Amino acid sequence: MVATFLAGAEKLGLSCGWLPRNAKECEGFGTCAFGCPSGAKQSVDVSFLPDAVKSGADIYSCCRADEIKVRDGRAVGVRGHFLDPRSGKPTGWRIEVESKVVVLAAGAVYSPYLLLKQGLANSSGQVGKNLHIHPCMQTIALMDEPLDPPRGIPQSSYVDEFQSEGIMLEGGTVPPEVHALCLPQTGADHASLMARYPNMGIFGGMISESDSRGRVLNLRRPGNRPTLTYSLKSRDVEKAKAATVLMAEIWFAAGAKRVFTPIAGHYELRSERDLRRLERSTVRASDILAMSAYHPLGTCRMGGDPEWSVVKHTCETWDIRDLYICDGSVIPSSPGVNPQLTIMALAIRCAGFIDERLSAAP
């Protein structure tokens, strides 16, 4: 499937290629998002966690942190409780840890949420604000020949011709249940299309250099869940439309007979005429039936001024000594690419600062 899309991009003279992947002996099961059967993905359960255990770390799974313990302006530990792995309900067992340093690494949604619940590290008022994501549009193509999804790598290729304009195309294969969610049709029409799943391919367009922002809120919802808000600005809507048009052009160049989009009034494109009608149309945020969102960042942003940031360059919070935040929430804005390597580099750098801090402690 991916080779077909890249062939269309090459036919149009667009810059494209295969994404580098840190995987060993990958067999292309296509289930990366649900867990790798062979361990080739090198997720933390077969990489960092075993190394940590060898170095003396204790790992507590099915454990939810409830509270950061603070004493005299310092973080001194964590309180939490255990959950049943099957039901997700509390078991009644609790845990309390005393420590010299606390590292909060719950991601750009739950790190600020935990701080907001306790009213911690928020003298700037920035905790939970500045939520950045990479909004993404999907297009699906129907071909005459089988494309054999979901074999292969879910995200394995790219078209970066317009990356400088904030549009990056990335894609691969997805299993049928995910594919079904991306089709705009319903009922019998949807079922008829899904019957032709082997002949369909999917690709995504990621938006960066975004004007849009969101927020993580603690509205005390049932189930201990945060509330997220996000407003898609008009400039990003235009990029979303442009990414959709570009993907459709590539699909048609690759031989697609029909292209399906999530934009109201343009759910199905059958010809160049349909494509140009979409290109000329005015699209509002409310016209987009579905978008996906990736790489949440920025909700505990790093900076040099405590009035406008949550953590210092060391990842330690301005307000609470020995409380470090080390995840995507400290990255001030979206970089336009997957931030995995950036977050890993920050973690290594943060570990170095913590080592210096503990080594200097009396």
| Chunked mean pLDDT (size 10), the chain, 362 residues | 90 94 85 86 91 95 96 98 95 97 97 97 98 95 88 86 94 84 92 94 90 92 86 95 97 97 96 96 95 94 98 98 98 90 96 94 67
**Residue 69 CB burial class (10 angstroms; 0-12, 13-18, ≥19):** middle
Q: What is the DSSP letter of 1?
A: -
134-168 residue pLDDT tens: 999 999 999 999 987 777 788 889 999 999 999 99
The number of beta carbons lying within 10 Å of the beta carbon of residue 151 is: 12
pLDDT score at 266: 97
How long is the chain? Answer: 362
Distance CA 41, CA 153 (A): 11
Q: Which domains does the chain have, with CATH numbers?
A: 2-21+29-34+131-294 (3.30.560.10)
The number of beta carbons lying within 10 Å of the beta carbon of residue 46 is: 14
How far from each other are the two terminal CA atoms of the chain, in whole angstroms?
60
pLDDT score at 362: 66
The residues that are catalytic are: 295
Residue for token pair 């945020």: 285
Q: What is 4-48 written as a DSSP string?
A: HHHHHHHHTT--EEEPP---SS----S-GGG--SSSTT--GGGTH
Share of the chain above pLDDT 70, in %: 99
pLDDT score at 83: 97
β-strands 200-207, 167-172 pairing = antiparallel
- Model confidence, pTM: 0.91
Angle at 198 between CA 195 and CA 201, to 5 degrees: 110
pLDDT score at 307: 97
